């Protein structure tokens, strides 16, 4: 049957005759642009005469009608599936055509598909979030004695169902609102993908106005102000571990709040003419059509850190710092970077405690401190957005919520300082 961008038909594959003098019947899918054909096997096989009588005849004989009906069912199902794939893709067609009937309605099928995609794309942190969210759904269903998770469909998940899940997570499991919000967002993303792929209709979407609203909290991360940064910068660590943690924390701060993962993956090829140019690892897979190159101008401090901790081999493909190495798998790199981030956070907390500074410090504090102090020193929000590689200004504004009152007062007073 001719479609807008593909042809689907039932054909007799006469390339090789079988021992019983019959040929296999195939499902043929053909696309003119790009010109490509695939033949998918069926359970049927016929002689040329049998096939002509069953499929090609306008009026098949009574004994052939049942087989004609079965072949039509295969062709019609293929057409129905192909119609929902825009733009048409052989990979997507094969996934849907040859999975079990009903898989498209199952939540676990879509979680598995998404987790496999994230693993393939080496988005391991996001993959772990989806895995933890899925595990929480399994535990909720077991606790509430509902149906088994492998039978859970999109149609079972209603606003009431989501409220019960939220209550279970917060009141029974003692999870934070932030954790619940993150987990439910993965489920919402699964719903959105299923709707976009025409697996389910929009009418079954349980999120939104007058339905279920995902709990949200304003996550204010305290940035260090100028005085706190000054004290911290001039502290003298008591142990080498604190010194190393402090060096990399301030390297992050001075490099536009560079994420620890991006520091670990930084290569000498990213450094040229006393500046670093790189793309955030977080956005390489999620924003391929809108990648933002970040430029960091190096100063005496950051150049000193590179000289102090940089590897001797300075070829373009070599990592600058000895945190990960090229022989590691993606999972090993992910684990190593997590451990290095914990190392920095742990020793920075101890250093701050010893010097009566806020001890809720982490590598993210460096990122927020850069954003806040950049604007406090006259930089615009748009400049911060560009420097940090954000794709929308709302993300940047979230970083700036940590302005302290003294900074706000000083900025307010400066409005009338015309001298």
Higher pLDDT, 308 or 389: 308
Q: Are strands 294-297 and 275-278 parallel, antiparallel or unpaired?
A: antiparallel
Count of Cβ atoms closer than 10 Å to residue 70 Cβ: 13
Strand 23-32: give its sheet, edge to edge.
Answer: 7-12, 23-32, 35-46
Integer angstrom CA distances of residue 43 from 23, 67, 71, 96, 190 = 11, 11, 10, 18, 34
Residues 324 and 181 in one domain: no
Integer angstrom CA distances of residue 370 from 235, 296, 313, 389 = 19, 12, 30, 13
Considering the domain boundaries, does residue 2 fall inside one? no
- Among candidate residues 164, 197, 193, the one with its CA nearest the CA of residue 88: 197
Residues 373 and 253: their CA atoms lie apart, in Å, by 10
Residues 129 and 39 in one domain: no
Residues 117 and 18 in one domain: no
Q: Which residues constitute the domain of residue 79?
A: 7-97
Q: Which of 204, 234, 250 is the last residue of a domain?
A: 204
Residues 157 and 173 in one domain: yes
Ranges of beta strands (E only) in 177-325 are 271-272, 275-278, 294-297
Q: How many helices (H) and strands (E) does the chain have?
A: 17, 6
Residue 144 CA to its chain's centroid (Å): 30
Report the number of distinct structural domains present in the chain.
3
- Among candidate residues 172, 148, 229, 221, the one with its CA nearest the CA of residue 398: 221
Considering the domain boundaries, does residue 327 fall inside one? yes
Residues 91 and 118 in one domain: no
Which two structure tokens, joined as six digits, stand for 55? 């499929």
Q: Over pLDDT 90: what percentage of the chain?
A: 63
Higher pLDDT, 174 or 292: 174
Residue 12: strand pairing partners: 25
Residues 134 and 112: their CA atoms lie apart, in Å, by 9
The reported pLDDT for the residue numbered 114 is: 95
Residues 307 and 409 in one domain: yes
Residue 27: strand pairing partners: 10, 40
Residues 244 and 333 in one domain: yes
Q: Which whole number is the average pLDDT over 361-388?
A: 75
Confidence class for position 23, pLDDT limits 50, 70, 90: very high
Question: In CATH, what number is assigned to the domain containing residue 253?
Answer: 1.10.443.10
Residues 244 and 322 in one domain: yes
Which of 60-64, 126-130, 287-291 has the highest average model confidence (pLDDT)? 126-130
**H-helix or E-strand containing 272?**
strand 271-272
Residues 52 and 65: their CA atoms lie apart, in Å, by 13
Considering the domain boundaries, does residue 214 fall inside one? no
Dump pLDDT digits (tens) for 243-255.
Answer: 999 999 999 998 9
Considering the domain boundaries, does residue 419 fall inside one? no
Residues 403 and 273 in one domain: yes
Residues 267 and 322 in one domain: yes
Residue 212: strand pairing partners: 207
Residues 243 and 317 in one domain: yes
Residues 153 and 148: their CA atoms lie apart, in Å, by 10
Q: Which of 204, 236, 257 is the last residue of a domain?
A: 204
Residues 237 and 174 in one domain: no
């Amino acid at each position: 049957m001719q479609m807008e961008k593909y042809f689907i038909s039932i054909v007799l594959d006469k390339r090789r005759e079988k021992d019983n003098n019959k040929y296999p019947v195939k499902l043929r899918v053909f696309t003119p642009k790009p010109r490509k054909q695939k033949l998918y096997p069926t359970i049927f096989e016929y002689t040329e005469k049998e096939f002509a009588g069953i499929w090609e005849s306008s009026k098949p004989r009574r004994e052939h009608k049942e087989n004609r009906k079965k072949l039509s069912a295969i062709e019609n199902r293929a057409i129905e599936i192909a119609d929902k794939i825009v733009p048409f893709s052989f990979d997507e067609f094969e996934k849907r055509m040859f999975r079990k009937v009903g898989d498209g309605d199952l939540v676990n099928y879509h979680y598995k598909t998404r987790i496999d995609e994230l693993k393939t794309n080496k988005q391991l942190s996001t993959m772990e979030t989806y895995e933890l969210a899925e595990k929480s759904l399994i535990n909720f269903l077991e606790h509430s004695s509902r149906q088994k998770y492998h039978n859970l469909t999109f149609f079972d998940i209603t606003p009431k169902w989501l409220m019960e899940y939220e209550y279970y997570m917060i009141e029974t499991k003692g999870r934070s609102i932030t954790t619940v919000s993150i987990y439910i967002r993965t489920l919402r993303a699964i719903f959105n993908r299923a709707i976009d792929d025409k697996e389910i209709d929009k009418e079954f979407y349980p999120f939104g106005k007058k339905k279920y609203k995902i709990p949200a909290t304003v996550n204010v991360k305290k940035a260090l102000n100028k005085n706190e940064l000054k004290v911290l910068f001039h502290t003298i660590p008591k142990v080498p571990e604190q010194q190393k943690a402090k060096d990399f924390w301030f390297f992050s701060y001075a490099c536009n709040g560079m994420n620890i993962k991006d520091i670990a993956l930084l290569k000498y090829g990213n450094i040229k003419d006393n500046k670093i140019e790189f793309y955030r690892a977080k956005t390489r897979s999620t924003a391929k059509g809108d990648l933002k190159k970040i430029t960091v101008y190096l100063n005496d401090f950051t150049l000193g850190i590179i000289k102090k901790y940089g590897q001797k081999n300075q070829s373009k493909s070599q990592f600058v710092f000895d945190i990960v190495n090229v022989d590691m798998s993606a999972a090993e790199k992910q684990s190593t970077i997590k451990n290095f981030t914990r190392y920095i956070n742990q020793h920075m907390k101890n250093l701050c405690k010893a010097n009566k500074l806020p001890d809720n410090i982490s590598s993210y504090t460096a990122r927020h401190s850069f954003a806040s102090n950049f604007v406090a020193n006259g930089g615009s929000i748009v400049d911060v957005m560009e420097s940090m590689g954000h794709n929308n200004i709302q993300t940047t504004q979230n970083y700036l919520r940590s302005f302290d009152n003294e900074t706000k007062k000083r900025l307010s007073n400066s409005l009338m300082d015309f001298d």
